Structure 1
Amino acid sequence: MDKVKKDGIKGSFLKYLFVCFVVCVIGNWLIYGVFDYLQKWYVSRYIVLPIPDFFSLDDIRLWESIPDDMWLYDVLRYGRYITVSLWSIFCIWFTVKKFYAAEVKKPIDTLMAASDRILHDDLDFEICTECKNEIGRLCVSFENMRKNLYASNYELWKSLEERKRLNSAFSHDLRTPITVLKGYTELVKKFDGRISPEKQADILSKMSIQVERLEHYTEKMSSVHKLEDIIPEEEAVAYEELCGSFDEVGKLVCGDEFFSMSAKEASGAVICNDRELIMQVFENMVSNAERYRKSVVKCIAEIEDDSLRVTVTDDGNGFSEEALRKAWQPFYRDENENEAEHFGLGLYICRLLCRKCGGELYISNAENGGGKVTAEFSVKKSESR
């Protein structure tokens, strides 16, 4: 049968017909032999007239010299032709049935089942067939079409997921700059016109810087199709200036009495990296610490081995064992997380941006309890990394 399946439908059908012909001829010979034997047996038992070899019983009957009770002989005589016809029809029917079952039915059923699943948007299956004829090759073509359709749908789904992740990250990262701007606004309202012109100009200048950062970040996020497409824009930033920005943003997010900043001395140090991305990572770290703190959030900055290391700790409950393993995953939220505004993207974005800036992000629990997040950034130009 395997040899038959390697041929086309026409060749296979001819082989089936050949087998049918052989079986049909042999069967007809046997039928003729059986009926001839029964007729001779009947004649030898019931016919007493001597019949010459060159006469048949039918010729003798013409003389009306034998008994009229010849119905069994007639049944055997005409039954032979009827049986031969029925046997031939049966052989043809059986051959067509076997041919259809072996060469046509299986692949047709496979194609019908596959088309039904595709119609219901189910592409996660495989079209398999053992037939090697034209319909079998049609199944192979159908399988290739399914694979291409599956790959196309997967790419489309992946693109939509990336866009969803990018939009969620954009929404997530907008919260901290807006919080900083709200902090400056509340500071102005708190003093109700009692701020000196110099202080007022300073606050307006800082608010302008935040608005500019927000504008640049919006343009950068709008120009990429996924987070992995972000390209750092390097600039030289003084270490002391960057630490001052850390202290200012930390106090605005957490409050003066809940945030403390310390920076190890590195006089004249300059950091060549994307200041905007570094600040975005820091703001995410501080926002997460603010969410889980009990009383205080601490930040330590230092430059060591051509890397800027920024560590933010809080005095909360710290990371669970599961969070230490899965906190990097996008949209991960601890089972005890009840905040609807928490997207579960903070650490994922921080780690991605750190790597874009030639560094890495580490999470752990502090020795005295609470969470500890350390971000590293390269301080050298990208050509020397």
Structure 2
Amino acid sequence: QLFGDVPQIPDVSPEIMIPSDRIAKELCDFISSWCILFFTLFGVFLSLTLFYKRRLKTPFSVLNEAADKISRQDLDFKISYVYDDELGQICAAFEKMREKLAENNSSMWNMIDEQKQMRSAFSHDLRTPLAVMKGYVEYLLRYYPKHRLSEEKVIEVLGELQSQTERISCFAGTMKNINRLDEIIISRAYVSQADLLAKTEAILTVLAQKYAKQFEVHSELKEQQLNLDISIFLEVLENLIDNAMRFSVQCVRVEFRYSQSLLNVCVHDDGKGFQPDELSKAVKPYYHGESVGTEHYGMGLYICKMLCEKHGGFLRVYNSPGGGACVEFNIAA
């Protein structure tokens, strides 16, 4: 060794020590015997504390907060942890689970909204045919007992009632077999322009009596056959005429044109027209505007828009230059 042998400390008998030296010696013996264990335990505790604070506390807090938010159905957050260790893998798995839950939750709400739209569409589109049927029944009850209707007129009215009944039956069957509005299938057939105008005037007559309004029909159609789904066409037309009758002051005007394989129909009213903010919102689902009461679901123009697009056309709303609202739709025919 550098300094030679370390001299051995002589062992002094406790009997010859004074009390203070004896206590100091016993304390030194205790420390020399137990300090290794003490410092080992202290080092382990300090290491675990530092490891927990630096590597465990953050991911545990992140996971605990994420679990709490997920339990409250709050999925609008993101789990982020920078370390790519075992806890990082657990955090990444939690994030994938959160994304999947958010996706499933969104799909479920979309499905609920689509079912709500279907119920609203079914309720809304039954209203106008039923109003037409009610008008025909009232017409028969008012004039038939007084013998003021010819047999031909009675048969004509009964034929219209049968036609409306068949439409409701077909519509109910369609709603039963589809889950979304965009699943409606277009069934085209050739219809003469004369038949189309006759059905339009029949609808206008009944609704004009219901709302105590007047109507006009202007047609630029030639003698031709139109290839369209008459059920879809009447659904759109009845909705628009019913809306126009509700908001008009005295008269509703319907115009027909045909150009480049598109049947164009404009429904005008002489009311106060659309407000500026309504022009962009009117075709959105559940927008009520000035409609009041529970019978109007805010789905009419939205349904018409979807049906027109399904039929290869479009729908737009605007205010007429002379005043009043105008709803124009085009369908491929």
TM-score normalised according to structure 2 size: 0.90
Partner of 1:363: 317
Whether the 8 Å contact between 2:63 and 2:91 is mirrored in structure 1 is yes
2:47 paired with 1:95: yes
Distance 1:73 1:300 in 2: 116
Asked whether the 8 Å contact 1:107–1:131 carries over to 2, the reply is: no
- Residues 197-236 of structure 1: pairs in structure 2 closer than 5 A: 197-236=151-190
Instruction: Give the 3-state SS of the residue equivalent to 2:96 in structure 1.
Output: helix
CA distance in 1, matches of 2:304, 2:273: 18
Distance 1:150 1:143 in 2: 10
Q: C-alpha distance in 2, partners of 1:275/1:377?
A: 11
- Which deviations, in whole Å up to 9, do the C-alpha atoms of 1:307-354 show, x marking residues without a partner? 1111111111100111101112100122x4323211111111111111
The aligned amino acid for 2:260 is D
Q: 76, 86, 91: which one pairs with 1:134?
A: 86
1:122 aligns with 2:77: no
The residue that corresponds to 2:214 in the other structure is 258
- Tell me the equivalent position of 1:290: 245
1:317 counterpart residue number: 272
Structure 1 residue 172, shift from structure 2 partner: 0.4
Partner of 1:305: 260
Deviation of 1:231 after TM superposition, in Å, equals: 1.5
CA displacement 1:128-168 (0-9 Å, x = unmatched):
22332223212211221222122122212111110110110
**Which letter maps to 1:258?**
Q
Alignment match, 1:171 = 123
SS of corresponding position for 2:63: helix
Tell me how far apart the structure 2 counterparts of residues 64 and 369 of structure 1 sit (CA, whole Å).
123
Kindly provide the amino acid, as one letter, of the partner of residue 296 in structure 1. Answer: C
CA apart distance, 1:73: 5.2
Count, aligned residues: 325
Q: List aligned pairs for 1:36-55, cutoff 5 A.
A: 55=7
Letter in 2 for 1:314: D
Q: What is the identity, as a one-letter code, of the residue corresponding to 1:114? A: A
Note if 1:181 corresponds to 2:136: no
Cα contact 1:128–1:139 (8 A) shared by 2:
yes
Which structure has the bigger radius of gyration?
1
Distance 1:303 1:328 in 2: 24
- The CA RMSD over aligned residues, in Å, is 2.3
What is the Cα deviation at residue 208 of structure 1? Answer: 0.7
Q: 1:73 to 1:239 in 2, by over 3 A?
A: same
2:295 aligned with 1:344, yes or no? no
Give 5+ residue unaligned stretches, structure 1. Answer: 1-52, 380-385
Among all aligned residue pairs of Structure 1 and Structure 2, give the percentage whose two residues are the same amino acid: 30
Amino acid at match of 2:152: E
- Tell me, in whole angstroms, the C-alpha distance in 1 between the residues paired with 2:7 and 2:261: 122
Structure 2 matches for 1:65-104, cutoff 5 A?
70-71=21-22, 74=25, 75-76=27-28, 78-104=30-56
**Bigger shift: residues 66-75 or 283-292:** 66-75
Aligned residue identity for 1:286: I
The 8 Å contact of residues 133 and 161 in structure 2, kept in 1 or not, is answered as yes
Q: What is the CA–CA distance in structure 2 between the aligned matches of 1:69 and 1:199, rounded to whole Å?
A: 132
Q: Deviations over 1:209-244 (max 9, x none)?
A: 111111112211221110011111011111121111
1:65–1:175 distance in 2 versus 1, CA, 3 Å: closer
- What's 1:274 paired with? 229
Query: Contact 1:289–1:297 at 8 Å: present in 2 too?
Result: yes
The question of 1:244 aligning with 2:192 is answered no
TM-score, length basis structure 1: 0.78
Q: SS at the partner of 1:375?
A: strand
Once the 2 structures are TM-superposed, how far is the Cα of residue 78 of structure 1 from its aligned partner? 4.2
**Counterpart check, 1:148 vs 2:94:** no
1-side partners of 2:37 and 2:206: how far apart?
A: 102
**Cα 1:364–1:254 shift into 2, 3 Å:** same
Cα distance in 1, alignment partners of residues 14 and 115 from structure 2: 104
- What is the CA deviation profile of residues 62-118 of structure 1, one whole-angstrom value per residue up to 9, with x for unaligned ones? 598887753585245544555444332211101111222333333233222222222
Contact 1:232 1:357 survives alignment (8 Å): yes
Native 8 Å contact 2:250 2:270 kept in 1 = yes
Contact 1:163-1:226 at 8 Å conserved across structures: yes
- 2:213–2:245: 8 Å Cα contact kept in structure 1? no
- Of the structure 1 ranges 69-78 and 339-348, higher mean CA displacement relative to structure 2 is found in 69-78
